[in-house]
Structure 1
Amino acid sequence: MTARPILDFHMRLAPRVGARARLLSTLDECGLDRAVVCAGGTIDLDRLSCQLIEGGHVETDPDNDAVLAACGGTDGRLVPFYFANPHRACDVYRDRAAGFRGLEISPAVHGIDLLDQSVTALVGVAESFGHSVYVVCLARQGAGVADLVTLARRFPAVNFVLGHSGIGNIDFYALALIADEPNILLETSGGYTCVAEAALRRLGADRVVFGSEYPLQHPAVELAKFQAIGTTPDQWRLVAWDNAHRLLGEEKP
């Protein structure tokens, strides 16, 4: 069941000329009403692929200025998230947080553990601005889903979103780890249909959010996943719309 309205909770702005126009065109093509947008292109994909397996990091600053500019003038259709670089002082985020609607932290890119002081300082800033925190976890000590659980317990007033269905395509273990953590939701891009189906059953539809990871994954693929598992209209309304607006601190339209 993939009827509208739909908010894609995880799209990226590619660092290319015309990226904003292509993103908006993709929303129209796929029947997406709104999208949360983070900076893309912070790391070369070949290097990212290597880092996921071998470790390592970059200290590159995501282009948050481009995201803010792209989201401007869209009447809220594009919602800017701040992609933090934990190698920088958290004041960099604090000084700009009012212009954004949430925070992303990615050990996959920047390589800093989720319980490092630099990350907890960023989350503290997010808490003060009412931002939810999107996190990409890894199968690595310090950056795993268990570490996210520890972080979430330190900040019970912050809503966290575990990106990409956990780690890999079939992370049932992630569902078990976050099951008793009400302030952690699951964003479903990348995972198998069996994980999305299990998430609806084990976590409940009120803790699952739709996302695509565009442009690395076409939204039509992720929409088909929910169509294939027979998501009910009531479940889909939560996954595709209501939960995202709760994370954004907005009343449901």
Structure 2
Amino acid sequence: MRARTATDQGTAATDPTPYRVWDLHCHLSGVEGRTPSERMARLIAFADRMGIERILVFMGFPWATDPAADDLRRQNDQVLEALTHWNDRALGLAYVSPAHVETSLDEINRCVRDGPMVGIKLWVARRCSDPAIDPIISLTHELNALTFQHTWLKAGGNLPGESSPEDLVTLSRRFPDTPLVCGHTGGDWERGIRMVRDHPKIFIDLAGSDPTAGFVEMAVRELGADRVLYGSDAGGRSFASQLAKVLGAELAEEDRRAIFGGNLRRLLRPILAAKGLHP
């Protein structure tokens, strides 16, 4: 049995910031532990240390850039196991892929409609501009669930099937009323921000890159603070380095609070209400 901490009462053990921080972007990979439950306990311990109230977790381990249908189910099972004892501190996104549409629809129904998860995670098997993804987005929208799409702009070229922010813009044109999260803001965040700027239903994720000065300020200036979401990409990145992006930015306090969690809670409010939860 694990030792009980302040997290068992739903509050962080330490509170180094005055903000309600919800971390949009966490993984079980990159964290020590033999099982999903052990890795989740480590993530929560790190979150406690940094005063993070709640984390969103998606994808299991090991990863594959083009997972088989059975692998999607296996990784979602790992996340479901990780969430079991931490429903007061963590939420999950179902890992799905337009390369396996029927399996993905089944997983959305199993994990989101009938389970505890609150959205979907799309990675790199097929670009999100491909219309094959449309049934997945339609069902996710119908459930008021969150759609999170990994995006990148690699200098040497993206992986086969890896989406860019421009691909997400193409998807948004087909689903103009559906909120979409641009994971990593494309990595090359200056270009990514400009690519999504004119598409008000696309939100950006700050996670994963170095805490470079000017990133958050540009995002707020170009998109408005209400389209900017804090995430870390833990355990691939540290909570501390990613918190620093927002803590060190020159922002109005109202905007900092929105980025650290207010915006994410607003996006999740419909599905949390449907599940009897309150942000």
TM-score (norm 2): 0.77
Q: In structure 2, what is the equivalent of residue 161 of structure 1? A: 181
For the residue of structure 1 that corresponds to 2:187, the secondary structure is: coil
Q: In structure 1, what is the equivalent of residue 241 of structure 2? A: 221
Query: Partner letter of residue 43 of structure 1?
Result: W
Q: In structure 1, what is the equivalent of residue 252 of structure 2? A: 232
Q: In structure 2, what is the equivalent of residue 10 of structure 1? A: 25
Q: 1:149: Cα distance to partner?
A: 0.6
Q: 1:194: Cα distance to partner?
A: 2.1
Identical counterparts, % of pairs? 27
Cα contact 1:83–1:103 (8 A) shared by 2 = yes
Are 1:81 and 2:81 matched, yes or no? no
Q: In structure 1, what is the equivalent of residue 263 of structure 2? A: 243
For the residue of structure 1 that corresponds to 2:80, the secondary structure is: helix
CA deviation profile, 1:35-84 (whole Å, cap 9, x unmatched): 1111243426xxx6xxxxxxxx4434261112122223434320111111
Cα contact 2:94–2:108 (8 A) shared by 1 = no
The higher radius of gyration belongs to: 2
Q: 1:2: Cα distance to partner?
A: 4.9
Q: In structure 2, what is the equivalent of residue 203 of structure 1? A: 223
CA distance in 2, matches of 1:20, 1:104: 18
Cα contact 1:165–1:195 (8 A) shared by 2 = no
CA deviation profile, 1:5-44 (whole Å, cap 9, x unmatched): 1100111123743101101101101100001111243426
For the residue of structure 2 that corresponds to 1:36, the secondary structure is: strand
For the residue of structure 2 that corresponds to 1:95, the secondary structure is: helix
Q: In structure 1, what is the equivalent of residue 208 of structure 2? A: 190
Cα contact 1:209–1:239 (8 A) shared by 2 = yes
For the residue of structure 1 that corresponds to 2:27, the secondary structure is: strand
CA distance in 1, matches of 2:131, 2:184: 25
Are 1:146 and 2:166 matched, yes or no? yes
CA deviation profile, 1:211-242 (whole Å, cap 9, x unmatched): 00000001111111222223332111100111
CA deviation profile, 1:142-168 (whole Å, cap 9, x unmatched): 722111011012112221111113233
RCO higher in 1 or 2 (8 Å CA, sep ≥ 6)?
1
Name the stretch that deviates more: 13-22 or 184-193: 13-22
Are 1:101 and 2:118 matched, yes or no? yes
Change (3 A) 1:75 1:58: closer
Gaps of 5+ in 1: 49-56
Q: In structure 1, what is the equivalent of residue 80 of structure 2? A: 68
CA distance in 2, matches of 1:222, 1:193: 12
Query: Partner letter of residue 186 of structure 1?
Result: I
For the residue of structure 2 that corresponds to 1:248, the secondary structure is: helix
CA distance in 2, matches of 1:206, 1:16: 38
Name the stretch that deviates more: 193-202 or 208-217: 193-202
Cα contact 2:108–2:120 (8 A) shared by 1 = no
Query: Partner letter of residue 178 of structure 1?
Result: V
Cα contact 2:151–2:185 (8 A) shared by 1 = no
Query: Partner letter of residue 20 of structure 2?
Result: P
Are 1:180 and 2:194 matched, yes or no? no
Are 1:130 and 2:144 matched, yes or no? yes
CA distance in 2, matches of 1:233, 1:10: 22
Cα contact 2:230–2:259 (8 A) shared by 1 = yes
CA distance in 2, matches of 1:114, 1:43: 19
Name the stretch that deviates more: 132-141 or 80-89: 132-141
CA distance in 2, matches of 1:35, 1:148: 24
CA distance in 1, matches of 2:60, 2:214: 28
Give the total of aligned pairs.
237
Name the stretch that deviates more: 240-249 or 139-148: 139-148
For the residue of structure 1 that corresponds to 2:25, the secondary structure is: strand
Gaps of 5+ in 2: 1-15
Cα contact 2:24–2:230 (8 A) shared by 1 = yes
Query: Partner letter of residue 150 of structure 1?
Result: T
CA distance in 1, matches of 2:194, 2:138: 26
